[in-house]
Structure 1
Amino acid sequence: MIAIGGSVQNKVLDAEKVALEMNKIIEDVASVLRLSPTICRLLLHHYKWNKESLLERFYESTDMDSFFLDANIISPFKVTRHGDEGLADIVDICAICCNRTILTGLQCNHHFCYLCWDSYLTTKIMEEGRAHVACPQHNCPIIVDDEKTLTLVKSENAKKRYRRLIINSFVECNRLLRWCPAADCGRVIEVGHLEARPVKCTCGTVFCFACGYEWHEPVNCRLLKLWIKKCNDDSETSNWISANTKECPKCQVSYLLSISGAFTSSYI
């Protein structure tokens, strides 16, 4: 726990402790709903990690298939009724590489070869930073669950990044958690309630919890963001002037260049 002056203390968590908190919430929901942890994590993500909202909607729902489809999940109750046909490996032609080989799929019953699955998921994770990847089939929104992803992806670096992306999505959805903005810190600040106040990480960085910028008293977060936007806009204007004008070699007055690159008679 770290306090600044006489202010309220905040907790500093490393990624491992954040994962423990996340898994505790998943386990709580799984024990109530009697569903697998990987399904519960996807549901929690859909409801922005609001456990109470998820449970309320679950017990209010009269159509379980629609409830799960809203979160891009095939109802596990539907899978139980019809078996795991979509999960069973088959021998057929892969729709991606067009090779006839062993294919594996999801509950949506779309199958692809192991090499194409690995390539597809690794690209989504490493290049696009996705923690929630949809089925490769065109217009199929069903999410590849954690267990399937970690089974199909072969690269240990991709698996490590995938786990980190899951933690990141948990932090970003939680109003009481925020990553320390310091480069290469990787710690998370946890507060008891959301407000604009300074918080301090164990790395020494002090920042505003509400907006994530350096502490900016007495300016409020809204005005700070407007000021930063103005500075960025002014910087873009300066870049444009630099790229589209030249100084007169005699009088040092800036002239605007025409589209062709020739000097015009317009002064800046």
Structure 2
Amino acid sequence: METDGQRVYSVLTTNEVGEKMMSEINQISEVFLLSKSDATVILISFHWNSFKASDRLGDDKEKLLLELGLVKVFSSSQENKSVPSFADQENLVSTPFCPHKFSETCWISHLNNLLEEGKAENNKEEERVLCPNPDCVASVGPDTIEKLKEPAVKMMYERYVLRSFVEANKEWIKWCPAPGCEYAIERHEDMLEDDDESSLDFGVVCLCGHTFCWCCKLESHRPLTCKDASVWFSSTLDTLKSNAWLVENTKRCPRCNTHVQRADEPVLRMITCFCSCHFCWRCFRSAKEHNGKWNCVEVSVEPSMRQEVEDSRYLRLWEACHEEFEKSKSDLKAIEENGIPTLVENFSFNNGDVDAVMEATLLMVQCRLALKWSCAYEYLITMHQSAKTQFVNHLRGEATKTLLRHKATQEALMNQALTSGDFSCFEVKLSASTTTTGNYFHEFVKTLESGFPGT
């Protein structure tokens, strides 16, 4: 979502996250004349805080390397005498800093135990991977891992290093929480408003189609707060569904006001409550009052069930908006998997055009989500400021019209470009529509969050 034409987050591939990580590694390596392997171990030990690592290296580099097990502390004669029991075996591997050589099988077991079970990641006192010898403090870095032949072990170590980088920088980068997704989200801190988490526009829409709130990782829920969204999912939505079922399947007894469910027979007109009240399902009168005539008019809304009826209406509104939201996610997936490859292969579709289409389509997903949660906002505000519900409904209607105009613009520009074969102005015009629509929805949500003072 755009705010004044600017994105406040980026979706990164695993490789792009790795490039950011390597940039920090290279900087430490070049400034302090260290191997990239040693720089990696140092940054992991300092939770990827390059400032602290630089301070320690600047104060006493040799002392720090010794503390972290990155100094060779044995002689050649010690190395030759270190593991006589393995003298007849090949492919033994040790760290560059100690004489303890182990077979590939031992290394795999050691690394599996540390990395797959997350012990090295969860132990905040010692995040380094150490030599398998329990009495050794030599660090295991990428240079040691490269000596192993098993690709799966190398990949596991690479994931461990990447996870530690993301975890250490979780204030500005997070993995998408969708199962199986390998995208990460980078937050642009300099574009947030006074460190206000809510200014991360409508949460996040990952390229996998998953949407989530940056703060709580629930589905993105602005204009609701994280607390209200949690309550909505945990109890309010269930209440709406229960009341909608009551409206559909029950009537209140005119005598005791208890909910009474009609039997399966649709022709049955007279219902008997457990309080012995006998009444007509359609008009609530007794059989005597009907006097043998059954042409009564059904009471559409019972005064005693107005809240249940209202809850049922909001549930239908929520579900309708949710359906539109899911459709927008399907459209995004279809464009990414089929539409974009076809356009690139068969037309003069460049990277700028691809980005413009993806941004425009991602925006539709975010806007549909904002419209959906505005329904929840409207329901919650009725409990305290019912007079404002009509205005919320009006704002949502205008926002919906704006979104539909954006969608129509994208379709018209695409059809025009495909027909003429001229994509020269496609990116500029579509990006302008995306910016305008994004800004409109930004103001729409901010208005709801502020309670629209002055109205």
Q: Indicate the TM-score class for this superposition, using the shorter chain for normalisation.
A: 0.5 to 0.7
| Post-superposition offset of 1:204 | 2.1
Shift in CA distance, 12/105, structure 1 to aligned 2, threshold 3 Å: same
Unaligned runs of 5+ in 1: 232-268
Amino acid at match of 1:181: P
Q: Is residue 2:117 matched to residue 1:112? A: no
Shift in CA distance, 185/43, structure 1 to aligned 2, threshold 3 Å: same
Q: How does 1:1-268 map to 2 (within 5 A)?
A: 3=2, 8-59=7-58, 61-62=59-60, 64-65=62-63, 67-70=64-67, 72-75=68-71, 79=72, 85=75, 90=80, 93=83, 98-101=85-88, 104-124=93-113, 127-129=116-118, 132-152=128-148, 154-174=149-169, 175-193=171-189, 196=197, 197=200, 198-217=203-222, 218-220=224-226
CA distance in 2, matches of 1:220, 1:105: 49
More helix by share: 2
| Post-superposition offset of 1:191 | 0.9
Amino acid at match of 2:132: P
| Post-superposition offset of 1:182 | 0.9
Q: TM-score, normalised by structure 2?
A: 0.41
| Post-superposition offset of 1:149 | 1.5
CA distance in 1, matches of 2:104, 2:160: 23
CA distance in 2, matches of 1:39, 1:31: 12
Amino acid at match of 1:209: W
Amino acid at match of 1:36: S
Shift in CA distance, 64/177, structure 1 to aligned 2, threshold 3 Å: same
Bigger Rg, structure 1 or 2: 2
| Post-superposition offset of 1:167 | 1.3
Does structure 2 conserve the Cα–Cα contact (< 8 Å) formed by 1:206 and 1:215? Answer: yes
1:243 aligned partner: none
| Post-superposition offset of 1:164 | 1.9
Amino acid at match of 2:146: L
Shift in CA distance, 167/199, structure 1 to aligned 2, threshold 3 Å: same
CA distance in 1, matches of 2:77, 2:176: 40
| Post-superposition offset of 1:212 | 2.9
User: 1:119-157: CA deviations, max 9, x gaps?
Assistant: 3345336642457421111243332111111212x2212
Tell me which moved more, 131-140 or 85-94: 85-94
Residue-pair matches, total = 214
Percent identical across equivalent pairs? Answer: 23
More strand by share: 1
Shift in CA distance, 5/207, structure 1 to aligned 2, threshold 3 Å: farther
CA distance in 2, matches of 1:86, 1:18: 40
Shift in CA distance, 211/38, structure 1 to aligned 2, threshold 3 Å: farther
Unaligned runs of 5+ in 2: 122-127, 190-194, 236-455
| Post-superposition offset of 1:36 | 0.4
Does structure 2 conserve the Cα–Cα contact (< 8 Å) formed by 1:45 and 1:170? Answer: yes
Amino acid at match of 1:219: T
Q: TM-score, normalised by structure 1?
A: 0.65
CA distance in 2, matches of 1:167, 1:188: 11
CA distance in 2, matches of 1:201, 1:148: 35
Amino acid at match of 1:124: N
